[in-house]
Structure 1
Amino acid sequence: MRIETIYRYPVKGLTAEAMEEVTLTPGETLPHDRRFALAQGDSPFDAAAPAWLPKRNFACLMVNARLALAHSAFDGRTGELAIRTPGAPPFLGDTRSPEGRAAIAAHLAAFMGEEARGTPRFVEAPGHSFSDVAKKVVSIIGLSSLHALEQATGTTLDPLRFRANVYVSGGSPWAEFDWIGREILLGQARLRIVKRIVRCPATEVNPATGERDAEPPRWLRQHFGHADLGVYAEVIAGGRIAAGDALQLHDDDAP
């Protein structure tokens, strides 16, 4: 199997950013992945004492399909976040200052309209990941599994619906489910597969249009008896990964 594409998602719920290569660090996510989030006004998230909270506490595609139309780009060197939303001029905010974070929150809240609860806050907490799970993980999808779902339903599904970090080709459908508890070599890094990814209504949203035009969770249950696609992995030994690199099980030589 081989890596086809790599993505990070600096702001929970916002745009995927493609990467040709990245260096993984033990116990960490991809650099800047899910680093920021828009906490809804009624969210108890405390940046001074960060703790994992369910995604409904934040702006997310599961609830806020409109976010798919907010195109963002994060510059990790300057801390600047660029956002483009339909009908509005380009916006540039500074994630490193209170004033900049407040401006980003106000811009996104205005775009969300009635879906913004109270006064949302643009938040980060050093060392904290706004992942859908409490562990710091890298998400991996086998494209063979996605193609099996497409064939079963007669549809074409943009892989970005599933917001994974790493998409790999080769292998048989659902092979990644057999890796739970095992270690893999991914490029120069070593990871342990810890959990299957249960799919939620966020995958119903077309990333190009913001419309709910598909039902992957229902289709997975209907055709395969589960609602899972992809796996979460923890980085055990760091190293560089890049498009074209191999993925193989660490405890044998299986391709």
Structure 2
Amino acid sequence: MKHVSLLCRYPVKGLSAETLSSVSLKIGQGFPSDRRYAIANGEWVFDAAGFVPRPKTDYLALVKYERLAALSTSYSDSDEMLRVRERAGQTQQFHLGSEVDRVRFSDFMLRVFEGTPLPGRPELVGADGIRFTDVSVYSPALMNAISLINLATLRDLGRAMGAELDPLRFRANVYFDNGMPWSELEWLDREVMIGNARARIVRQTRRCAATNVNPATAQRDLGIPQALAKHFGHVFCGVYAEIASDGYVELGDEIGPL
């Protein structure tokens, strides 16, 4: 059975996943509220009007800052409220439309990373029409791409590594299982159906050190890009898709190439 197993969004780049039971996809748009915000690393000034997509290293992200994985977050679209729970159990709320709360969030990040050198003062950034996807640096269309991961591929990678891999390491939007590891890499330049939405596979996902972070422990405990290169001769795991038609996707829906 080729089915959708998990749907995730990441309202703030680098922070935790939110799981969904269903999602409406729109042509030319990304996963709703995915990577809507990011945490600039303080080394540059965000200007929404003149924004040019920047590499992930210009933000606080798991590729360099695994401590982010110790924060459990949830975001409410209706009131722009971000709730952040620390491992100790303390929860704070930040209204992301409020300049005062954005400053509070910056102060909070400085406390979270106390003792860790940062390039500057972290700043929560975001604006309508901007998504902070990793591949946004390649084209405006890819800013709105969604990411897909085949759970069969993760099982095969885990088998090669002798480890059970938490799928959330890979921070995808759509996780599916078709029982055929690596088959999604062959979908490049093809159209697929995801539920009743149509999408075009436009890029394979090059993996970086962010996947080495265990989302359960916030520890960097594996070498996934290295394992991909060693066992499979490449560093790709998953694909990016651009939405080609409006549609609705829910858990259990079928997925596959046309």
1:224 paired residue number: 232
* Secondary structure in structure 1 of the residue aligned to 2:214: coil
How do 1:1-255 residues align onto structure 2 when only pairs under 5 Å count?
Answer: 1-87=2-88, 89-113=90-114, 114-134=116-136, 135=142, 136-250=144-258
In structure 2, give the amino acid aligned to 1:122: L
How far apart are the structure 2 equivalents of 1:69 and 1:199? Answer: 21
How far apart are the structure 1 equivalents of 2:36 and 2:110? Answer: 19
Following superposition, the deviation at residue 115 of structure 1 comes to: 4.0
The alignment's TM-score, normalised by the length of structure 2, stands at 0.94
How far apart are the structure 1 equivalents of 2:34 and 2:7? Answer: 11
How far apart are the structure 2 equivalents of 1:169 and 1:84? Answer: 31
How far apart are the structure 1 equivalents of 2:82 and 2:60? Answer: 16
Q: Deviations over 1:121-143 (max 9, x none)?
A: 11101111100001111100111
Change (3 A) 1:239 1:115: farther
Q: Deviations over 1:187-235 (max 9, x none)?
A: 0100000010000000000001111111110000000000110000000
Kindly indicate whether the alpha-carbon contact (under 8 Å) linking 1:183 and 1:192 is maintained by their aligned counterparts in 2.
yes
How far apart are the structure 2 equivalents of 1:159 and 1:187? Answer: 21
Q: Deviations over 1:67-102 (max 9, x none)?
A: 000111100011100011234731101001111222
Q: Percent identity?
A: 39
1:253 paired residue number: none
How big is the alpha-carbon RMSD for the aligned residues of Structure 1 and Structure 2?
1.2
Structure 1: 4+ residue segments shifted above 4 A: none
The alignment's TM-score, normalised by the length of structure 1, stands at 0.95
Q: Deviations over 1:142-188 (max 9, x none)?
A: 11111110111111010000000011111411111111001001001
* Secondary structure in structure 2 of the residue aligned to 1:96: coil
How far apart are the structure 1 equivalents of 2:200 and 2:117? Answer: 37
How far apart are the structure 1 equivalents of 2:88 and 2:253? Answer: 40
User: Which consecutive residues of structure 1, in runs of 5 or more, have no partner in the other structure?
Assistant: 251-255
Following superposition, the deviation at residue 44 of structure 1 comes to: 4.2
